Amino acid sequence: MSAVIAGFPDHAVLTEVGPRDGLQSEPIFVPTSEKIALIQALLDAGLRRFEITSFVSPKAVPQMRDAAEVLAAFRDREDAHLTALVPNMRGAEAAIEAGVDAMVLFASASESHNLKNVNRSRTASLKGFADVARLAEGTGVRLQGAIATAFGCPFEGEVDARAVVDQARAYVDLGMDYITLGDTTGMATPALVVKRVQALRPVLGKSTTLALHFHNTRGVGLACAYAGLGQGITHYESSIGGLGGCPFVPRATGNVATEDLAYMLMESGVETGTDLDRLIRAAQLAERIVGRELPGQVMKAGPRLKTASMDSVRTANG
């Protein structure tokens, strides 16, 4: 591993969101057995934190209709932390019954996207979260908060930083100690990442973990993660092969690829506990499962020092 870049943390924790955020918008249902095989490959590559599914209406997101079955396959893995996205009380009840380690509650920083994404106002979403928090009391299931469109909205444009800060504060008041800033639309920039992190520090303090979740819509997903490292952020969400894209955002493209992010971190001296070769194989498996080329780059090129024989490339003439 390379020497740590000055100012960077020496380790980072990756949460794999491919089984949920990556597959949710796939038009053809991915069989439960193939989802399970993909998650097992990711476990074999050293990943231990997963947003493994979502307990949403099958009518709204048909791809997630097997949420309980997928979770059941890994519920006994004591070395894995399994979270699921829940939009409402019905989803929370199902997630608790299925045995999740934590429920991810999500709302958008912009009103218009929240209406499109969950068909509720931001105020209604936050009120519903208070009900979910009461439901979770005494169950051992923790709550995590996600702020979608934290860096920009496809319908409103710029998102006021105060809306992001206020939402984070509401999450803290509900007892959440893990909050993710979601770049749902791929509108984040490195400079904006720095501004958001610095604005949130007084609200979150040292007891709350801040995670960053980037999409590569405009090609700067890894640059945004690099900016987060410079701010000392150690938790990142990514999707194997670059799978994904919000189905309720126009022109949305995939998440930052897990293997690309892991490669950048490793080459920056930041330990992730993952095996890059196995991550590449998992990305190739994901590509076979969805039946098309995925946008991940390291899965195509391999590690930096992967060599080839001279006979494999033609010699220039002339």
- Which of 201, 139, 204, 209 minimizes the C-alpha distance to 173? 204
Residue 318 has a pLDDT of 63
Distance CA 309, CA 300 (A): 17
Percent of the chain with pLDDT over 70: 97
DSSP bridge partners of 50 = 16, 82
Average pLDDT score, the chain: 93
For the chain, the distance separating the N- and C-terminal CA atoms, rounded to the nearest angstrom, is: 41
Is 153 among the residues known to form the active site?
Answer: no
Residue 111 has a pLDDT of 85
- Whether 225 and 200 have beta carbons less than 8 Å apart is answered as no
Distance CA 224, CA 64 (A): 29
Residue 33 pLDDT greater than 60, yes or no:
yes
For the chain, domain boundaries: 13-312
User: Of 52, 118, 193, 246, which residue is the catalytic one?
Assistant: 246
124-128, Cβ contacts within 8 angstroms, sequence gap of 24 or more: 126/167, 126/170, 128/88, 128/89
Residue 311 has a pLDDT of 86
* pLDDT-based confidence at residue 52 (cuts at 50, 70, 90): very high
**What is the average pLDDT across 208-235?**
96
**What is the average pLDDT across 211-220?**
94
- Whether 45 and 58 have beta carbons less than 8 Å apart is answered as no
* pLDDT-based confidence at residue 81 (cuts at 50, 70, 90): very high
Residue 266 has a pLDDT of 96
- Verdict on whether the full-model pTM lies above 0.85: yes
Q: Which three-class secondary structure state does DSSP give residue 98?
A: helix
* pLDDT-based confidence at residue 115 (cuts at 50, 70, 90): confident
- Say if residue 89 is exposed, middle or buried (CB neighbours under 10 Å; 0-12, 13-18, 19+): middle
pLDDT digits (tens, 9 = 90+) for 236-273: 999 999 998 655 555 566 899 999 999 999 999 999 99
Residue 236 has a pLDDT of 98
* pLDDT-based confidence at residue 1 (cuts at 50, 70, 90): low
pLDDT digits (tens, 9 = 90+) for 177-192: 999 999 988 999 999 9
Residue 125 has a pLDDT of 84
Min mean pLDDT across 62-66, 119-123, 218-222 is at 119-123
Does domain 13-312 sit in CATH 3.20.20.70?
yes
Min mean pLDDT across 15-19, 101-105, 212-216, 310-314 is at 310-314
The pair of structure tokens assigned to 194 is 């720095």
Residue 245 has a pLDDT of 66
More confident residue, 154 or 273: 273
Distance CA 195, CA 315 (A): 50
